[in-house]
Amino acid sequence: MTPRTHWNDLPLALRAAVEARTGPVVAVGTVPHGLNCATATSLTTAEGSTFVKGVPLHDADVCAAQRWEATVNPYVLDVGPRLRWRIEADGWELLGFEHIEGRHADLSPGSADLPLVGEVLRTAQTIRAPRHISVPRFADRWTRFLGPGELRLLDGEMLLHTDTNPHNLMVTGDRVHLVDWATPALGPAWVDIAYTAVRLLEADRTPDDVRTWAARFPCWASADPQAVGAFVSANCRRWETVVGSAAARSSNARFAALLTMV
């Protein structure tokens, strides 16, 4: 997790640039979740609340992710919050989003949130990004772990979120918002169903329950088993590289369970 910088510790000129957009800040709430942003906060002004996230400009990788989030925002407004402004000043880049006042989705057995999660994923599966913005291809993430034939199986044209963990599924009333589009990709629509299925297993849902849930999505029901196999192999190999084979065992077992669901 990237170390966090509190609002009051950000450069004065940067905070002034934000307040020029929002009006004077009267309350600040720190947001603890999220892996890549160096600052994340909710700012309250006389006009309401704004969620602000940002990164220092010297960190090229996280800057690139944040810029992709800004780039795809106009195309994901049916499922996620609107980007209100983007500021670059004093060595930082900040994004200001519509504030979603809600809670993280509960994916555990018996939760009433799962149908709402299904609804937002169904809507997200209809999203295509215009070709002129050149969103990274999902298959290109896995060139270290898969051969050319396997990579081709992960080609597709749908705009994917690729990180549907509960912290990115915000529940407000009768809907779920899919937030934090920092790792978008073009690929087959079933990919986000697969990632969500793994999260359901992580939340102690049984494989049978998850299989039944996933089968309700036509894109999953028609997914090529070989493509799912390539997806599982790539994720497992990558995670072993990151944490080692022993530490990766439980996570990789959840990914491997997907092979029994297609």
Q: Considering the domain boundaries, does residue 158 fall inside one?
A: yes
166 touches 199 (CB < 8 A) = yes
Phi, psi of 40 (to 5 degrees): -150, 120
Task: Round to whole Å and give the CA distance between 39 and 34.
Answer: 10
Instruction: Clarify whether residues 107 and 192 are in a common domain.
Output: yes
Same domain, residue pair 124 and 242: yes
**What is the domain-level CATH number for residue 188?**
1.10.510.10
Asked if residue 222 and residue 122 are part of one domain, the reply reads: yes
Q: How many other CB atoms are found less than 10 A from the CB of residue 69? A: 24
Q: Are 19 and 144 part of one and the same domain?
A: no
Q: From CA 230, how far away is CA 232, in angstroms rounded?
A: 5
Q: Is residue 2 part of a domain?
A: no
* 1 lies in some domain: no
**Among 254, 51, 44, residue whose Cα is nearest residue 165:** 254
- CATH number for the domain that contains residue 79: 3.30.200.20
What single-letter amino acid sits at 195? Y
Same domain, 130 and 170: yes
Run of H or E including 49: strand 48-56
Domain's final residue, options 98, 124, 154: 98
What would the pLDDT profile of 28-56 be if each residue is shown by its tens digit?
Answer: 998 876 667 899 999 999 999 999 999 99
Last residue within a domain, chosen from 68, 98, 128: 98
pLDDT value, residue 4: 85
88 close to 149: Cβ distance less than 8 angstroms: no
Query: What token pair was written down for 116?
Result: 């709402």
- State the alpha helices, DSSP H only, in 168-224: 190-202, 207-214, 218-221
Find the angle CA(95)-CA(7)-CA(165) to the nearest 5 degrees: 55
Q: For tokens 């690729």, what's the residue?
A: 162
Instruction: Identify the pLDDT of residue 226.
Output: 98
Beta strands 27-30 and 185-187, pairing class:
unpaired
Of 98, 132, 149, the last residue of a domain is: 98
Cα–Cα distance for residue pair 118/258, rounded to 1 Å: 17
> Along the 262 residues of the chain, how does pLDDT read in single tens digits?
567 899 999 999 999 999 999 999 999 998 876 667 899 999 999 999 999 999 999 999 999 999 999 999 999 999 999 999 999 999 999 999 999 999 999 999 999 999 999 999 999 999 999 989 989 999 999 999 999 999 999 999 999 999 999 999 999 999 999 999 999 999 999 999 999 999 999 999 999 999 999 999 999 999 999 999 999 999 999 999 999 999 999 999 999 999 999 9
Domain hosting residue 69, numbered range: 7-98
